[in-house]
A = this chain, B = another copy of it.
Amino acid sequence: MSFKGEHILSVSQFDRDTIQHVFTIARKMQPYASRQKRTKVLEGAILGNLFFEPSTRTRVSFGCAFNLLGGEVRETTGMESSALSKGESLFDTARVISSYSDVIAMRHPQAGSVAEFALGSRVPVLNGGDGANEHPTQALLDLFTIERELASSGQSIDGMHIAMVGDLKFGRTVHSLSKLLKLYKNLRFTLIAPKELAMPDEIVSAIENASHQVTVTDVLEGNLNADIVYQTRIQEERFPSKAEANLYRGKFRLNQEIYTRYCKSNTVIMHPLPRDSRVEANELDNDLNLNPNLAIFRQADNGILVRMALFALTLGVDDIISNYECAVPWYSNKHSG
């Protein structure tokens, strides 16, 4: 059960045991992320943070996770400046960049590209999203959040009820999360989407074949009494036109009034972020910001922990992090949570 020197390319690499191992390490990262102390275990190590498709949030999350372990980050954003546009193969890019760094996090618009890149890499590669294909660190942080949120009310993932809402066709995160969730037992899935944006059949079948219960619907009202409501964004960039995306934008809005009427008193609200807060979308109304069950920012916080864990595991330092601990001399209000 070691990830030392391994690539992290797909959720299909994980089973319940390895997931729990990652989560155990992730929990150990909390004191460093909340600045009770810091660690220099990766001082001098270099992360190649290669974002051939821009994504501020994920890029900065990987970079900060590496900094929090003491390492340095070299990075690239976008395609136009890269040798790939001069006809270089992903294999060549990988051979070169991997000789410069100790580990690589990579996002690329093309499905399968990160795995292809990994074939040429001399160091572990973490998939930060390859087009419509995979985004395993997002799925792991979502699952980690579900486990933590349920645990705080004494529940476990086994037996829970999750409602997934919105663009379930193009939403990569709900696909990957579903693949992880089906490793657990006796779940109930309520899949709420416009018919044209329904969850792909093969994913629904895979969930059902793992003996979970699935309800498919295009109605929000009356279908939200779940333990977890996972709201998503219309993936405008995957639609043929903005006009077509607009047909669906704003169809399933969630606000405090709807929450009060249809959710359980402790239903946890999640979202892969960014949430579209423009008036025509308003996926999760700002009036939910005061609802203690809105877990969307805790998801982002958990993303740091999970990415720190994956760096520590692939670089084989998960056991020695505390050997390199130091005090934090600057002011921080993060200790309290």
Residue numbers of A with Cβ under 8 A of B are 4-5, 35, 38, 40-46, 48, 54-57, 59-61, 63-64, 67-68, 70, 72-74, 76-78, 80-83, 86-89, 91-93, 95-97, 99-102, 122-123, 233, 236, 273-278, 281, 286, 289, 297, 300-301, 304, 314-317, 320, 324, 326, 328-334
Contact = CB atoms under 8 A, between A and B. Distances in A.
B326 A277 contact: no
A97 B301 CA distance: 9
Given A86-B274, A273-B83, A56 B76 contact: yes
A331 B214 CA distance: 43
Contacts of A40: 44
Contacts of A95: 297, 300
Given A78-B81, A86-B276, A274-B92, A42 B4 contact: no
B96 A273 contact: yes
A278 B87 CA distance: 5
Given A72-B67, A96-B57, A273-B83, A89 B286 contact: yes
A64 B98 CA distance: 11
Contacts of A233: 86
**In this complex, which of A44, A46, A273, A301 has the most chain B Cβ atoms within 10 angstroms of its Cβ?**
A44
Contacts of A315: 330-331
A135 to B, nearest CB: 15
A81 B54 contact: yes
A81 B54 CA distance: 5
Copies of the polypeptide in the assembly: 3
A44 B81 contact: no
Contacts of A92: 273-275, 277
Contact of A81 (B56, B73, B76, B281): B56
A41 B329 contact: yes
Nearest to A32: B44
Contacts of A273: 83, 88, 92, 96
Contacts of A289: 91
Contacts of A300: 95-96, 99
A233 B91 CA distance: 17
Contacts of A123: 332-334
**In this complex, which of A93, A236, A281, A331 has the most chain B Cβ atoms within 10 angstroms of its Cβ?**
A331
19 contacts: A44-B70, A44-B326, A44-B328, A46-B64, A46-B68, A67-B74, A72-B72, A78-B81, A86-B274, A87-B276, A88-B276, A89-B277, A91-B286, A96-B297, A96-B300, A102-B330, A123-B334, A314-B331, A317-B329
